[in-house]
Amino acid sequence: MPIDATQPYDDDNIFARILRGEIPSTKIYEDEWAYAFPDISPQAKLHVLVIPKGRYVSWDDFSANAPEEEIAGFIRAVGHVARTHGLVEAGYRLLANVGPHAGQEVAHLHIHLFGGEPLGPMLARR
Ligand code: AMP
């Protein structure tokens, strides 16, 4: 069920619970600003989720309300995860779903990082 990305942050969302260690995940990377773990239902050979440690519903919330230092730290973390997985030369894809039209399911900003194989067209054909 897609979420309404204009709603306030809900501390019970599944990624908030992963950040608190209440739900298990396999840590791929962690720093002051970000946490990365494998998507439970991978849609590419490599499918990692990178999430900010801060409480942001979506990319919209984050880009509007996060302090500059947090934005810089998070974006650098996403790049770092891709780089350390050796994805730059072959290429990779980033995706952030926001709200119903994009099918956002989890109300905590997450960047999908796809790679490890050719990824096909940017959007599913209609
Ligand atoms: P989105 O549709 O952009 O909100 O993506 C949510 C993503 O979270 C989906 O790709 C799910 O497979 C993934 N997901 C949901 N629960 C978990 C979990 N416990 N651990 C890892 N990934 C999850």
Minimum CA distance residue for ligand 1 atom 12 = 41
Global pTM value: 0.98
Q: CATH number of the domain that 47 lies in? A: 3.30.428.10
In a domain? residue 62 = yes
Atom of ligand 1 nearest to the CA of 105: 4
CA distances to 36, 64, 72, 95 from 67, rounded to whole Å, are 20, 9, 9, 22
**pLDDT value at residue 67:** 98
Residue 54's domain comprises 14-115
In a domain? residue 6 = no
- Please give the Cα distance from 47 to 18 (Å, whole number): 17
What's the token pair of residue 101?
């039209």
Residue by residue, pLDDT tens for the chain (126 residues) are 999 999 999 999 999 999 999 999 999 999 999 999 999 999 999 999 999 999 999 999 999 999 999 999 999 999 999 999 999 999 999 999 999 999 999 999 999 999 999 999 999 887
**pLDDT value at residue 125:** 80
Give residues (CB < 6 A) around ligand 1: 14, 23, 25, 39-41, 49, 97, 103-106
In a domain? residue 124 = no
Domain tally, the chain: 1
For residue 73, report the distance from its CA to the centre of ligand 1, in Å: 22
